[in-house]
Amino acid sequence: MKTQNLNMLTEEERKAYFEIQHKIRSERKPRKPKKLPEVRSHEYCLNLFSKAKSPRDKILLELIYYCGLRVSEALNVSVDDIDFKESIVKVMKGKGNKQRLVPIPKPLMIDLKAWMSLENIIENKLFNIKRQQAFNIVKKLDHTIHPHTLRHSYATYVYGKTKDLKGVQDLLGHESMNTTSIYAHISVEDKKKMIKEVFE
């Protein structure tokens, strides 16, 4: 529509016109479906851990996988964030330091305690490395995956075993764009029970 004709419309009519135009453009360009994430089997992940170049690298990979963490979350974990008695890790996410509690499966807890008894932890942080270094650790073992593949694999494996989608979403710390009801939080004890059934 020409500008002069558009100016002849009332404010309400102009608003309706632009809304219709927006709708037409949206229909012309349908959204592409989201690409499914790359995942690997539980057996593959265990084999990957066995190939780690150092005990530190192995613990990092296990922490990302067994707790479904983002790389940034794993690198920010400190000794104080781990409750060894309850087998729980406190995870801090991004802006606002949103917190969630994630159960630590028995295989990881055993390796974590053994590693920490030998490792000299600097400034209370488990890993004194940069994000890119974490990516390189994974790439050197298998160039076809990245750290987030382990997180996707965790979610797929846990859901496959439990069929508890709400629980998986809570474990991953996902936020909802729709209603929050489908992302209802489960208790720490329920999460521990779910993970124990999967990995132990």
Q: State the catalytic residue, choosing from 14, 42, 56, 70.
A: 70
Catalytic residue among 42, 159, 183, 185: 183
Identify whether 131 is a catalytic site residue.
no
The active-site residue, picked from 2, 32, 85, 95, is: 95
**Phi/psi zone of residue 21: left (φ > 0), alpha (ψ -120 to 50 degrees), beta?**
alpha
Of 15, 98, 174, 196, catalytic: 174
**Alpha helix (H) ranges present in 39-187?**
42-50, 55-67, 71-75, 106-116, 131-141, 147-162, 165-172
**Residues with Cβ within 8 Å of residue 4, at least 6 apart in sequence:** none
Letter for the amino acid at 5?
A: N
Residue of 58, 151, 191, 192 with catalytic role: 151
CA pair distance 78, 90, nearest whole angstrom: 9
Catalytic-residue membership of 66: no
| Active-site entry in 146, 148, 185, 193 | 148
* Catalytic residue check, 154: no
Q: Helix, strand or coil for residue 167?
A: helix
183 is an active site residue: yes
**Positions marked catalytic:** 70, 95, 148, 151, 174, 183
